[in-house]
């Protein structure tokens, strides 16, 4: 891009987000200089959103700015860390000032809300893609990992599952659903569970964020921990709209496999239920036990009658993200 175009982009991202005392040098030099306080570990994550793959062409730039950061915040939350610094790489077909203004507004507002400072970035011309690298801080040794689950742990999730997936079906395929606006909000403006991740430090044995669907992400956690799990279908926390959809279709794709919810899935050691309830109350966010870690490997989903639920192939073909 030309110098003028770079200047244009700078305009929307100068002084973006919080001002942090541990930023020695932010935007404007060859690289940022960041001070990790003694006794803290640095946590780093990178996510890319590509137009047509991760978001629909024509998506609101303000919502995209929000989501580009939210998906990385969710990974930081899943580590039990506090977000601190972001860098942003934008690939754009052209530097459209309206689009940039909207994107910058959504991105920088969410940065401010979480005490994150934008400390650098890069812009290139090409098909629209948004990459955010986010760094966070966690007390040394206290990070939550996927590998800590133990047999007998309760499998728990934050919030509700399936709203973003059902929102995608409503938006992309015109599926008739209840609370279309609420589902659309869950899809386009996810709220990363940063407070929950922080509160789960020293409480949860293992954690992961639900970006690819409960079954897939819990599967990663089980693999890392070398354990198995059962999930109880009737315990899954569902919004009224998702509950109605599941009841009408008998298809559990949205809450089990759709992804994009950015809730946390974590495992709670036996005897810590009281602390979980206290944490849920202080967060104002439901923390729901949905299953149990088993010594036997594999992931089984059980119906209320104790029978195993097996997702129908037809359901996946019809409703799957690749349909
Ligand atoms: Mg993740």
8 A C-beta contact, residue 323 and residue 190:
no
Distance 211 CA to ligand 1 centre (A): 6
Distance 259 CA to ligand 1 centre (A): 11
CA distance readout (Å), 251 to 242, 243, 244, 316, 319 = 10, 10, 11, 9, 9
Distance 160 CA to ligand 1 centre (A): 17
CA angle 190, 65, 192 (to 5 degrees): 25
Could you tell me which residues are beta bridge partners of residue 122? 89
221: enclosing H helix or E strand: helix 214-225
Distance 209 CA to ligand 1 centre (A): 5
8 A C-beta contact, residue 178 and residue 241:
yes
pLDDT of residue 244: 95
Distance 3 CA to ligand 1 centre (A): 36
8 A C-beta contact, residue 119 and residue 109:
no
Residue 263, phi then psi, degrees to nearest 5: -85, 170
pLDDT of residue 308: 93
Phi-psi label, residue 142: left if phi above 0, alpha if psi -120 to 50, beta otherwise: alpha
Distance 267 CA to ligand 1 centre (A): 15
Count Cβ atoms within 10 A of the Cβ of residue 249 and give its class: 0-12 exposed, 13-18 middle, 19 or more buried.
middle
Longest dimension (CA), the chain: 66
Q: What is the pLDDT along the chain (323 residues), one digit of tens a residue?
A: 554 555 666 777 878 999 999 999 988 888 999 999 999 999 999 999 999 888 888 889 999 999 999 999 999 999 999 999 999 999 999 888 899 999 999 999 999 999 999 999 888 899 999 999 999 999 999 999 999 999 999 999 999 999 999 998 888 888 888 888 999 999 999 999 999 999 999 999 999 999 999 999 999 999 999 999 999 999 999 999 999 999 999 889 999 999 899 999 999 999 999 999 999 999 999 999 999 999 999 999 999 898 999 876 443 333 344 43
pLDDT of residue 53: 87
CA distance readout (Å), 116 to 29, 113, 190, 240 = 19, 8, 17, 34
Distance 258 CA to ligand 1 centre (A): 15
266: enclosing H helix or E strand: strand 263-268
Distance 75 CA to ligand 1 centre (A): 5
pLDDT of residue 265: 98
Distance 129 CA to ligand 1 centre (A): 19
């Amino acid at each position: 891009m030309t110098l003028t175009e770079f200047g244009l982009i700078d305009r929307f991202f100068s002084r973006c987000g919080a001002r942090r005392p541990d930023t020695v040098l932010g935007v404007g030099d060859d690289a940022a200089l960041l001070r990790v306080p003694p006794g803290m570990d640095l946590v780093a994550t990178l996510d890319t959103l590509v137009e047509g793959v991760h978001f629909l062409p024509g998506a609101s730039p303000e919502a995209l700015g929000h989501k580009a950061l939210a998906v990385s915040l969710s990974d930081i939350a899943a580590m039990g860390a506090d977000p601190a610094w972001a860098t942003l790489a934008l690939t754009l077909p052209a530097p459209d000032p309206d689009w940039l203004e909207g994107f910058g507004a959504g991105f920088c507002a969410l940065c401010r809300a979480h005490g994150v400072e934008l400390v650098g970035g890069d812009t290139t011309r090409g098909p629209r893609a948004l990459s955010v690298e986010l760094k966070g801080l966690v007390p040394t040794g206290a990070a939550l990992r996927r590998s800590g689950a133990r047999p007998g742990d309760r499998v728990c999730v934050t919030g509700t599952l399936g709203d973003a997936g059902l929102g995608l079906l409503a938006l992309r395929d015109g599926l008739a659903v209840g609370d279309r606006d609420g589902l659309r909000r869950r899809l386009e403006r996810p709220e990363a569970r940063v407070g929950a991740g922080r509160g789960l430090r020293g409480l949860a044995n293992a954690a992961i964020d639900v970006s690819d669907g409960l079954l897939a992400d819990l599967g990663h956690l089980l693999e890392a921990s070398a354990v198995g799990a059962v999930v109880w279908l009737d315990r899954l926390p569902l919004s009224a709209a998702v509950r109605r959809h599941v009841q009408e279709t008998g298809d559990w794709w949205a809450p089990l496999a759709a992804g994009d919810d950015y809730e946390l899935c974590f495992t709670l050691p036996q005897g810590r239920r009281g602390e979980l309830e206290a944490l849920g109350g202080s967060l104002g966010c439901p923390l729901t036990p949905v299953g149990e870690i088993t010594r036997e490997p594999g992931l089984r989903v059980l119906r209320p009658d104790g029978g195993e639920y097996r997702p129908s192939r037809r359901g996946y073909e019809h409703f799957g993200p690749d349909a």
